[in-house]
Amino acid sequence: MPRIIFMNDRLVPEEEARVSVFDHGLLYGDGVFEGLRSYAGRVFRLDTHLDRLWASARAICLEIPLPKNVVAKAVNDTLAANNLTDGYVRLVVTRGAGSLGLDPNRTHNPQVIVIADTISLYPAEFYSQGLKIVTAATQRVQSAALSPRIKSLNYLNNIMAKLEGLRAGCVEALMLNHKGEVAECTGDNVFVVRSGKLLTPPPDAGILEGITRNAVMELAHAAGIDCHEATLTRHDIYTADECFLTGTAAEVIPVVDLDGRTIGTGTPGPITARLTADFHKLVRQ
């Protein structure tokens, strides 16, 4: 059955969902997006995702042509039109069609697109047994050059690192910043457990401050787990008791090996298991 897509002001069959070849989102990756999850018919932290989308758009001087409440309704309507209660939503805003050239002032008609579908980012056995990942040679773009807090349509930096991971036989890769510090993986935030404490890189390490990341930090505090941001290097991951990743699509997934070095016991640890269970409870509330 064809999927139903929200385009600007209405729901249309996917074969009718089109953007201009002159759209700067296509030509230059000029636009912003959010990935959201729906659980039991409710979108997890929809308002927070929309706030981040609007912040990203404002940072690149892109005026979203619809108000937040209309976009929120479009997200829920698209899920309903596709008969999805547990699903993934990709919300995209492009700069709009324009002339060839970088000038965003020569564009018009920004496109607001909502796509809803199912998603299975990693096989089930990776959640029970853990991921093996490698460090990518591709560095995270410096924050002074382009803020990682802008969730833009240009993901080439992440894609190049992802290719390195895939060619090494891994589904994910760790990215370092220009100082050699741990930033994030290609699509997920990083956590380590050391001596019962939960640590994750701070925003100034060059990360996207993930919504799932923040939810897991809240859960850790509620569980009495000492959790805080800290500058990390690969040494901290190599010598950690546990490691896991968080992301909207990935949720919470353990990492048991980095660069061929076993992390902890080589199996998902108890704090990872606790926070995974707590996260699953949270999203169903």
Q: Which of 151, 179, 197, 281 is catalytic?
A: 151
Q: Is 66 exposed, middle or buried (0-12, 13-18, 19+ CB in 10 A)?
A: middle
Q: Cα(57)–Cα(89) distance, rounded to whole angstroms?
A: 18
Is 179 a residue of the active site? no
pLDDT for the residue 114: 98
106-163 pLDDT tens trace: 999 999 999 999 987 788 999 999 999 999 999 999 998 999 999 999 999 999 999 9
Which residues of the chain, if any, have pLDDT below 50? Answer: none
Per CATH, which fold does 124-284 belong to? D-amino Acid Aminotransferase; Chain A, domain 2 (3.20.10)
The answer to whether the beta carbons of residues 132 and 257 sit under 8 Å apart is yes
Of the candidates 91, 137, 155, the one whose C-alpha atom is nearest the C-alpha of residue 259 is 137
Res 285: pLDDT = 85
Q: Residue 120's pLDDT is what?
A: 79
The pTM score is 0.95
Q: So what's the pLDDT on residue 242?
A: 98
Architecture per CATH, 4-117: 2-Layer Sandwich (3.30)
Supply the pLDDT for residue 119.
84
The Cβ of residue 264 has, within 10 Å, a number of other Cβ atoms equal to 20
Residue 121 has what pLDDT? 77
Instruction: Report residue 173 as tokens.
Output: 């890769």
Domain ranges for the chain, please list them. Answer: 4-117, 124-284
What is the CB-side half-sphere exposure of residue 96 using CA atoms within 13 A?
16
Q: Give the chain's end-to-end CA distance (angstroms, integer).
A: 30
pLDDT computed for residue 219 by the predictor: 98
Q: What is the pLDDT of residue 2?
A: 85
Cα–Cα distance measured from residue 246 to residue 252, given in angstroms and rounded to the nearest whole number: 5
